[in-house]
Structures are given as structure tokens and as C-alpha cells.
Chain A
Amino acid sequence: MLALLAAAPDSAKAALADPKTIGAFSAPRGAFAIIAVLAIVGAAMTITRRNPISAVMWLVGTFFCLAGTYALLSAHFLAALQVLVYAGAIMTLFVFVVMVLNRDEPEPYNFRNIWTRAPIIVVAVGYLIYRLWTHTATLEPVHRGEPPAEFGTLAQIGTILFTDYLFVFEAVSILLLIAVIAAVVVARTMRPEVTHPEPTEEQNLGSELANEPGHGVGGPATVERAGHGHGGHGDDHGHGHGGGH
């Protein structure tokens, strides 16, 4: 952003030369500069925080700033969706997962085998520095003329999604369905495989009383209590236990 400030005189001169080019520091540009600086600060804090909850909160701030950026770009519906979907839904999911598995990390940064990843990092940081260094705002202004009245509204996006890109829309809906099912399957099936080996069907049917202690280990408490309380119906509970996972 220092480069952005340094670029102001150039663009001011350009504005004097040609009134259609970029002005020096108009009100929207000032607002955009504040929002952009906040977004970048939030992103930098996100990737440097040691506590995952702080990282999530900074990332929520970045997403709010991006929603403001979308509003500056006349993308009102996307700005609303950014707040609803990203800051609302996705980051809530992150908060819940952080709550489930909050662990202090003794060493947050990963420098092992750094040389395999160093080229990408060098290119990314080098590009960042290059862009900040050479930023002169010479491209055309983003607000070139007035857009059509329906630009960025829900009606326009809906028309586009349901006519030209109907297949993409349906494919995304199927993808979301698959993702939901996959999330449930992945989050559920890991548990019995690692905590205790599942008793086979023959063991359950054959000698239920002999299997009772091994059966109860690591299983849910309700199943364990039910199995001990009603020894005669151990077979039924064993069935429910095996099928439940």
C-alpha cells in the first residue's frame, strides 16, 4: 500500500492530462484503500496466528472486507452471499472443528523439507514484492461507464445460471450433495476402525456372553450398558452396534 500512496502523484498527473483517466484519491478509492489494507492485514494475521481461533476470527474480518470490496464493484448479491456463506456458514464450520480439536502447537511453522516448497514460496513472495514495487495504477479504471441497471442483481445472476449455465448449476448441486454425503461418511467411519476392532457377525451369534467384555471396550456407553443389563438380548444389541457405524 506504500506503493499505492507513492503512485498517487503519477495518477494525479494523468488525471490532469486526461479527465477520463484515474483521479488522484477520490472517495471510493479512499474507502477501497482502507478496506484493502484491512483485508490484507487480516490475511497476514490469519496465516501467522498460533491460536486457530484467532486465525478464524481474522479470516472472518478478511471476508467481511472482501464483501465490502464486492459492494464497491456493484456485485451486491455476491457481497451478501460472501457474508452469508463465507463469514456465516463456512467459518462457523471452522469454529466448530477448532472447538472439537483445539490443540496447542509447539512449533507452528513447518520448515522440514523446505527446499521442496521453497520455489513456490519464493515465486509467490517475489511476485508480491514485484507487484507492490511496480504498482503504478496504469490500467483502466474498473468503473468504466455505468453498467446495465440489472448488473449484479439476483435476477441477472439467476437468469445466467438457469439459461446458459444450467448444466454447471446442476453439476454443482450434485457436487454439494456428494460433499455432504462424503463428509458424513468420512467423519463417521474413522471411529470404529481405530478404537476397537469390530466383532464379526459369527462371533456375535456364536458366543455372545463370551464376547461381552471385548464387545463393550471402546464402544458407546449406551450400548455397553444395554449389553450388560440385558444379557439375554445381547444378540439384538450386538446387531444394532454393528449396523450403527
Chain B
Amino acid sequence: MNQIPLSDFLLVSGVLFALGIVGALLRRNVLIVLMSVELMLNAANLALVAFARSYHDGRAHAFALIVMAIAAAEAAVGLAIVVGIFRSRRSVNVDELTLMKH
């Protein structure tokens, strides 16, 4: 019956994480960059939950919960910064945010 290899879950987790990295590094819209970061956090969560099931350890669930809280905080602050930047620069393009570069 319940026969799913652990490696399948880790494969999905790795694929989601890689897609998140590619999205965060290649997209210009800062909203999509933030979404890619959320995707990476979810990929890490999936690996945590899969190992928790494999080792019958509930502590990983607590950690996944904490990762969710961190992701919520990150999304709130990140989106506030995005709104602030959009108000001052009228742009959500990460290429144009070069204030600290020069």
C-alpha cells in the first residue's frame, strides 16, 4: 500500500528549489522574485516534512511551522518594501534599483 520512496519527495523538493533559484535570479519583476523565494522556502518545507514522516519525528513539523512563520514575516516586509519602492521610483524592475550600486 503506502509505498512511495523518500527519494521521490526529495526529487520534487529539489526541482522546486531549483526552479525557485532560477526564477529569483532571472526575473526582473520584484514580485516574481519574492514569489520564487516563497517557492524555495516551500521546497525546504517539503523535504523537512518528508524526513519527518520517514523518521517518525514530529519535531520537523514544528520546524516547518516556524519556516512558515518566517516566510509570512518575509513576505510582509518584502511586499512593504516593494510598495515603498514603487511609490518613490514608479517601478518594480529590479534592474532599476541601483541606488546603492554607485
Contacts and interface: CB of A to CB of B under 8 A. Distances in A.
A109 B71 CA distance: 25
A94 B84 CA distance: 15
Interface string A24-55: 00111100110010011001101101001001
B49 A137 contact: no
Interface residues of A, number: 103
A73 B5 contact: no
A193 B31 CA distance: 23
A72 B8 CA distance: 13
B42 A63 contact: yes
A210 interface: no
Contacts of B76: 93, 179-180, 182-183
Contacts of A172: 66, 69-70
Given A22-B5, A89-B72, A108-B27, 15 more contacts: A4-B11, A26-B1, A29-B3, A43-B15, A94-B75, A97-B31, A108-B29, A135-B7, A138-B7, A141-B2, A142-B5, A142-B8, A142-B9, A165-B66, A183-B79
A139 B45 CA distance: 19
A69 B15 CA distance: 15
Interface string B1-37: 1111111111110111111111101111101101110
| Pairs A-B, 3 closest by C-beta atoms | A47-B23, A179-B73, A190-B84
Contacts, number: 280
Interface in A123-165: 124-125, 127-128, 131-132, 135-145, 147-148, 150-152, 156-157, 160-161, 164-165
Contacts of A143: 2-4, 53
A27 B74 CA distance: 37
Interface of B: 1-12, 14-23, 25-29, 31-32, 34-36, 38-39, 42, 45-46, 49-50, 52-54, 56, 58-59, 61-62, 64-66, 68-77, 79-88, 91-95
A141 B3 contact: yes
A2 interface: no
Contacts of A161: 62, 65
B35 A140 contact: no
Interface in A82-139: 82, 85-86, 89-90, 93-94, 97-98, 100-101, 103, 105, 107-112, 117, 120-121, 124-125, 127-128, 131-132, 135-139
